[in-house]
Amino acid sequence: MRCFFILICSLLLSWSAIVQSPGAAEVQLSLAMSKSSYRTGEPIMLELEFTASESSYSVDTITTELASPIDELVLSPRTGVYSWLDDYSRGNRYWPDYSAMSALQPGQSVKLKLPLNALYRFDQPGHYTVHVVSRRVSSGSIQARRPVGPLTSNDVSFEVVPMSDSDEAEEAASLEELIRSAPDLKTAQQYAERLKWLTGDPSTRVKISLFLNPKTFYPFGVNVSQGLWLARNRALVVSNLEQAMIDPGHAVETTSGELRIAVALKTRLLSPYDASSPKQSPLATEQIEDQYLNRIAETLPQRQGESLVRTAITLLTTLVQRKETTTAQFQAAREAIIRNFATVNEYQIDWLLNAYGKYLADERMVPALQEILRTEHAGLFTSTRSAVFKQLFSLSPAGTKPFLIEEICDSKSLTQFDVLAGAPFDSFPETDACLLNQIRQYSKGDRRTHMYLQQKAALAARFATAAVYDDLLKIYSTDGSTWDGQTRGAMLAYLARYGGKHTLPLLESAMPADAPTLEPSVSFGLFRAYYSPVIDSFLRKRLNSPYARQASEAAYEMSAHGPREDQAILRKRLDRWNAKWSNNTDLPQDEAALQAELIRAVIHGLNWQMSNEEADVLRRQCQSDLCRSQLGVKD
């Protein structure tokens, strides 16, 4: 028995060795351009070359801005070297949840470049050696891919020699000039990438200058923030950021992240990273941020214009994230934004309103919001206009009506339909003529206009009146077969709204009863645009479909849109399901999913409620693991 145990252990160890040392796949390491000497702050570019002597291997070619642990860059010695990325991440290295696999064919190689400086900052000259342990290689097909284990490269050695302050100052000044005079963002960012790796005080001052007063290609600025993390003199960075944040003439921007960077670097000055210690001192992030926020809030009365509103946005959004919305600082920031909303950058409006609009619900904002609708182009600022309409519907519905009619009739507007559909109005006769003309115009168009046709058909279902019914029915009868499913569904919603039971044959034709499911794109456009009694009647029939998936979809839509009386109809359908499938030991998956959907629909409806006790009784009717899992039923 002991011999058998030893044999099994030997086999397991042999298998482990095979997995860890695949042999057929290798990685070779070299230094780009065969360099062997680098000045401090000069990028040390490694080249990884992957090869395989057999087919069926592939390599992940994704590289990320913050280097992921898929490659371990093993450097020696470590004296005079600072692991800045480990300090940055503090045990939370970024690992992408996506990949880009490239096949490794025998006789061919796949090459990648990695900057060693992306992990290490070289503070002292010396002779260094590095090798790479890579987990990029997998074997097998795409459907059954499996990692082959870490591959270890050869060693390469290089020298790091000092760069004088005067040389660094000259190079940093030259790069700043190139950045500020660059003709486009891409060119400027390439120069900023070179500046990033420099680590001394001369380059740090240039980085701070570009960070606080960025070169912009509106609305984007050149990003030099990562270079601040590589600076040897972090105290210099923190001191300058602190001074800038309390300068009334300087806007503390949310987009640049200066508050976040100042907090992160200050906390690390107070709790330095120790590479030899497995457990790092906790960072006083909340306390440091609290101090900075108090200082920034104290400067609001001295600020004006963009400096005031942009700093107030940073203050308010940070305090919301900290769940501190009852403080005096929050109220001061909120007041500043509301009173100066007209000066908010047009590229921040949608983000600000969508994420923080509930904190800015104040009628004093109405004139500024209306002005945005007058001036921001519908085709370019679709998301902005959507956010503004949503805010206005809650603040001033009546005052929004003329803007909404104009938006509906704008032939190039693609403002989010779901937002416009939430308007507190039923229909607009003023939109009949423009919607009819635009649908007629786009009906025979090509794929470039199909988005506009979708939008106008949905808007017709939601806002047009019965006055254009005959005309739209004729267009649908003539051209509808050439439309995409969502457009057909939206137009069917209009026809069902005003055509009554005469529309049922059209619905039956678009979503046949003998199909396993309701046609997905047609049903999406239909139920999204307008839910009328005719559509509800159609779904009541499909609730009894012999196809379980059709019945499931009908139950879902009835609960999402249907009137109060639909709950009783759904309950009766559930009772029939239980009677048919009671104690069935071989339940088809579609039927199990139907029971789950029926129970969920009976419990949760847009227009009905059920007590927790009744809901628990229904959930315990589940006859499958799938149903119990979907409804959260525990044994």
**Residues linked to residue 27 through DSSP beta bridges, in sequence order:** 50
- Mean pLDDT across the chain, nearest whole number? 92
For residues 362-388, average pLDDT: 90
Cβ(229)–Cβ(199) below 8 Å: no
Does a structural domain hold residue 188? yes
Q: Which domain holds residue 537?
A: 426-542
The band of 6, judged by pLDDT with boundaries at 50, 70 and 90, is: very low
Same domain, 316 and 449: no
19 has pLDDT over 50: no
How far apart are alpha carbons 635 and 620 in whole angstroms?
Answer: 9
For residues 409-438, average pLDDT: 95
279 has pLDDT over 80: no
Q: Is the dihedral of CA 71, 34, 230, 75 positive or negative?
A: positive
Same domain, 468 and 611: no
Comparing C-alpha atoms, which of 383, 431, 426 is closest to residue 403? 431
Per-residue confidence (pLDDT) for residue 627, from 0 to 100: 94
Does a structural domain hold residue 394? no
For residues 144-157, average pLDDT: 92
Does a structural domain hold residue 319? yes
The band of 20, judged by pLDDT with boundaries at 50, 70 and 90, is: very low
Q: Is the dihedral of CA 398, 403, 408, 414 positive or negative?
A: negative
Does a structural domain hold residue 572? yes
List the structure tokens of 427: 């229909």
How far apart are alpha carbons 554 and 542 in whole angstroms?
Answer: 6
For residues 29-46, average pLDDT: 94
Same domain, 458 and 490: yes
For residues 74-99, average pLDDT: 91
Same domain, 379 and 281: yes
Same domain, 36 and 86: yes
How far apart are alpha carbons 554 and 418 in whole angstroms?
Answer: 21
Per-residue confidence (pLDDT) for residue 52, from 0 to 100: 93
For residue range 452-490, what is the model confidence (pLDDT) as tens digits? 999 999 999 999 999 999 999 999 999 999 999 999 999
How many domains is the chain partitioned into structurally? 4
Comparing C-alpha atoms, which of 542, 494, 496 is closest to residue 519? 542
How far apart are alpha carbons 75 and 69 in whole angstroms?
Answer: 14
How far apart are alpha carbons 554 and 551 in whole angstroms?
Answer: 5
Question: Which one is predicted more confidently, 96 or 448?
Answer: 96
Per-residue confidence (pLDDT) for residue 424, from 0 to 100: 95
For residues 283-289, average pLDDT: 93
Whole-number CA gyration radius for the chain: 32
Does a structural domain hold residue 531? yes
How many other CB atoms sit within 10 Å of the CB of residue 364?
Answer: 12
How far apart are alpha carbons 178 and 174 in whole angstroms?
Answer: 6
For residues 7-34, average pLDDT: 60
Q: What Å distances lie between residue 49 and 98, 112, 138, 546, CA to CA? A: 21, 7, 15, 58
Domain boundary residue among 494, 520, 542?
542
Look up residue 212 and give its amino acid.
L
Per-residue confidence (pLDDT) for residue 372, from 0 to 100: 94
Same domain, 515 and 582: no
Q: What is the residue-wise DSSP string for 44-90? A: -EEEEEEEESSSSEEEE----SS--TTEEEEEE--TTEE-HHHHHHT
For residue range 176-226, what is the model confidence (pLDDT) as tens digits? 999 999 999 999 999 999 999 999 999 999 999 999 999 999 888 999 999
CA 588 centroid distance within chain: 37
Same domain, 373 and 517: no
536 has pLDDT over 60: yes
How far apart are alpha carbons 354 and 160 in whole angstroms?
Answer: 50
79 has pLDDT over 60: yes
For residues 386-411, average pLDDT: 95
Per-residue confidence (pLDDT) for residue 152, from 0 to 100: 96
Phi, psi of 74 (to 5 degrees): -95, 110
Same domain, 221 and 311: yes
Same domain, 526 and 556: no
For residue range 545-594, what is the model confidence (pLDDT) as tens digits? 999 999 999 999 999 999 999 999 999 999 999 999 987 878 999 999 99
**Residues linked to residue 109 through DSSP beta bridges, in sequence order:** 51
For residues 327-334, average pLDDT: 96
How far apart are alpha carbons 233 and 246 in whole angstroms?
Answer: 21
Cβ(486)–Cβ(454) below 8 Å: yes
Comparing C-alpha atoms, which of 151, 122, 131 is closest to residue 43? 122
The b/e string for 552-584 (b: 16+ C-beta within 10 A; e otherwise) is bbbbbbbbebbeeebbebbeebbeebeeebeee
List the structure tokens of 374: 């007058």
CA 330 centroid distance within chain: 27
Helix (H, G, I), strand (E, B) or coil at 327: coil
Domain boundary residue among 137, 162, 187?
162
For residue range 215-270, what is the model confidence (pLDDT) as tens digits? 999 888 999 999 999 999 999 999 999 999 999 999 999 888 899 999 999 999 99
Phi, psi of 315 (to 5 degrees): -65, -50
Comparing C-alpha atoms, which of 78, 79, 82, 73 is closest to residue 131? 73
For residues 374-399, average pLDDT: 90
Question: Which one is predicted more confidently, 563 or 347?
Answer: 563
The band of 23, judged by pLDDT with boundaries at 50, 70 and 90, is: low
Phi, psi of 63 (to 5 degrees): -120, 145
List the structure tokens of 18: 């095979």
Same domain, 157 and 221: no
The band of 18, judged by pLDDT with boundaries at 50, 70 and 90, is: very low
Helix (H, G, I), strand (E, B) or coil at 92: coil
DSSP label at residue 104: E
14 has pLDDT over 70: no
Q: What Å distances lie between residue 15 and 21, 81, 140, 459, CA to CA? A: 10, 38, 17, 64
22 has pLDDT over 60: no
1 has pLDDT over 60: no
Domain boundary residue among 147, 162, 177?
162
Helix (H, G, I), strand (E, B) or coil at 554: helix
Cβ(26)–Cβ(150) below 8 Å: no
Same domain, 148 and 248: no
Does a structural domain hold residue 202? yes
Return the CATH number at 38.
2.60.40.2970
Q: What is the residue-wise DSSP string for 236-289? A: HHHHHHHHHHT-TTS---TTTTHHHHHHHHHHHHHS---TT-SSPPPP-HHHHH
Does a structural domain hold residue 6? no
Does a structural domain hold residue 402? no
For residue range 593-630, what is the model confidence (pLDDT) as tens digits? 999 999 999 999 999 999 999 999 999 999 999 999 99
CA 520 centroid distance within chain: 25
- What percentage of residues in the chain have a pLDDT greater than 70? 95
Same domain, 536 and 559: no
Comparing C-alpha atoms, which of 122, 195, 130, 196 is closest to residue 161? 122
Q: What is the rounded (10 degree) CA torsion for 261, 263, 269, 274? A: -80
Comparing C-alpha atoms, which of 611, 624, 606 is closest to residue 563? 606
Q: Is the dihedral of CA 228, 232, 234, 239 positive or negative?
A: negative
**Residues linked to residue 121 through DSSP beta bridges, in sequence order:** 82
pTM of this structure: 0.84
